[in-house]
Structure 1
Amino acid sequence: MLHPDKIRFMQRLQQAAVHQHVFYTAGRTDLPGFDRLTKRFADAYGTELSRQTKHKRRLAGEASSCLHGVRLTTRSDNGQLSVDWVLLVSPGFGLVTHREQLQDLRDPRSRLMSPDERHELVHDGKTWSWRLTHRIYNQYLDRIHRIASSSTDRRRQIEINGVSRDADAEILLDRLYSEPGFRLVRRQVGKLVAELRRDWKRLRPASGPQLSERAFLAYVRFLPDQPVTNGLTRAERREAFLSVFPEQIASTTISDSY
């Protein structure tokens, strides 16, 4: 299935891993290429079979497969929107295990990354979840220490709701609290914010601007599927249709084949 946004894509990959699809291969193509890939994998590996059928095959020792893609904002050389895709496979025998060069999600050397390569899918002994990569986590730490220890002449003050704040620290907090709230990401953000507050208390004067209080990073809520067909979701096709025919009332039904 092709998804319209990164969070849905990441949720489906996480769900697949939870259901024992721990082997994968991945790549990047364009919209027509993903359509061809979908048909080829469905014919060869049964990626479009029902959940019940896949479950029965796994019980019989066969590998089951699922394909997920995400529509990107970048375009390929031919002007088509790019698509990142991941084929996930469960343990077992089958054509897919012979044809594809599969990597193991459980291997730290071949962890599955998010499309922007900021997050990695890991099992922490409890279950599968996404977390910030070591590179991104350390970048945040470096930025925290750099901002907290910046010299007086490099500090920028802004006013938020009548209260003086440090501009760079507030931008950093905005970025931290905009991270997707997967369980392990939430834990990391909590540690990073605590580190920022410790550095602030240690390096900044109590008489100067203090850090704003923030609500906790909310969990990512479950997002239902919004399949992308011909580059657009159903809601996007409806919006495009009504922009061309504004006289149509909001309740107009538009088929998926439009």
Structure 2
Amino acid sequence: MKNLLLYSSLSIVLQRIQDFVNLGYTRYVCGSTSVDKIEQVIALFEMNYQASISRYQRTKRTHMGLGNVHLVLRLKGEQVYWWLLATPPEVGRHPIHETDTLKNALIVGERIEIDGFELVRLPKKGTDHTKLTWRMTTSTFDGFSQSVVEAVRSRSYQRMQYVLYRLWSNPGFNGIRSQIGKLVVKYRAEVKRASIKDAPKPPEKLYYLNRRPHDGITVKQLRAQLKSQV
């Protein structure tokens, strides 16, 4: 349990999950619990799935032909959201394969979705390969598209500025950046169609999301925070 961190940043959670899926932890189950129960939940995961063993212990299990599990935790308000990511059965046996109905993160219809984003494999530009990345779900993208249209047609500088701010506030994963580029094209077309000369301009660059450090809190620190609030 001492090795586990709870992350408040959505970007860090998305990066960690993408990392593990890239490493072959393609099966998953997820859920949530209240902050006051997370210690019991983690203890259960440790007892049943060895969810927080060391890198050395995981390597040892792999050499023995056994599967492994990683646990990602997100602290959001009074809830803790969790994802148990497991290697597939063909890599090696693991108790989670017997006790849980796991989804396959690489299959359409079973992809990992978090806050309107989904983990997908998209073609890698200039190659025949694919790359794992996050993008907006269809409903999220359509919602932004509608917001762009409504903001421009309102002719309100503040509404147009706000919709651009919302777009640039999204995590800069490759798939998301590509979608934002399409929405910016739509925004400019709508502004031109409405003949709005003083409309706010989108920022010149949409930066990639840099590698985020493991900025989180331990269960011990969370426990101390909860006690201080009593």
TM-score range, shorter chain: 0.7 to 0.9
Bigger Cα Rg = 1
Give CA-to-partner distance per residue, 1:118-147, whole Å, 9 cap, x none: 111112242221111110101111222333
Alpha-carbon deviation of 1:231?
A: 5.5
Specify whether residues 95 and 8 from structure 1 end up closer, same or farther in structure 2 by C-alpha distance, changes over 3 A only: same
Alpha-carbon deviation of 1:49?
A: 1.8
- Root mean square deviation, CA, Å: 2.3
2:118 maps to 120
1:200 maps to 191
SS of the equivalent of 1:106 reads: coil
Q: Matched residues in 2 for 1:108 and 1:27: separation?
A: 20
Give CA-to-partner distance per residue, 1:177-222, whole Å, 9 cap, x none: 1111112111111111112112222x1226x323324132222222
Give CA-to-partner distance per residue, 1:19-48, whole Å, 9 cap, x none: 111111011102232212222222222222
Alpha-carbon deviation of 1:105?
A: 0.5
2:126 maps to none
Q: Which residue among 190, 203, 208 is the counterpart of 1:214?
A: 203
Q: Identity, % of aligned pairs?
A: 23
Q: Matched residues in 2 for 1:194 and 1:200: separation?
A: 10
Ranked by relative contact order (alpha carbons within 8 Å, sequence separation 6 or more), the top structure is 2
54-63 or 186-195: which moved more? Answer: 54-63
Mapped contact 2:184–2:202 kept (Cα < 8 A)? no
Mapped contact 1:227–1:233 kept (Cα < 8 A)? no
Alpha-carbon deviation of 1:62?
A: 1.9
SS of the equivalent of 2:113 reads: coil
Alpha-carbon deviation of 1:53?
A: 3.0
Q: Verify: 1:167 aligned to 2:167, yes or no.
A: no
1:84 maps to 81
1:54 maps to 58
Q: Matched residues in 2 for 1:189 and 1:59: separation?
A: 43
Q: Verify: 1:176 aligned to 2:167, yes or no.
A: yes
Q: Matched residues in 2 for 1:96 and 1:216: separation?
A: 44
Give CA-to-partner distance per residue, 1:74-108, whole Å, 9 cap, x none: xxxxxxx2111110001131211001111110122
Q: Which residue among 174, 184, 188 is the counterpart of 2:179?
A: 188
Alpha-carbon deviation of 1:7?
A: 1.9
- TM-score norm. by structure 2 comes to 0.83
SS of the equivalent of 2:71 reads: strand
93-102 or 56-65: which moved more? Answer: 56-65
Alpha-carbon deviation of 1:109?
A: 1.1
Q: Which residue among 127, 132, 139 is the counterpart of 2:143?
A: 139
Q: Matched residues in 2 for 1:146 and 1:231: separation?
A: 44
**Alignment-mate amino acid for residue 206 of structure 2:** L
SS of the equivalent of 2:58 reads: helix
Structure 1 gap segments, 5+ residues each:
74-80, 157-165, 241-258
Q: Matched residues in 2 for 1:108 and 1:43: separation?
A: 32
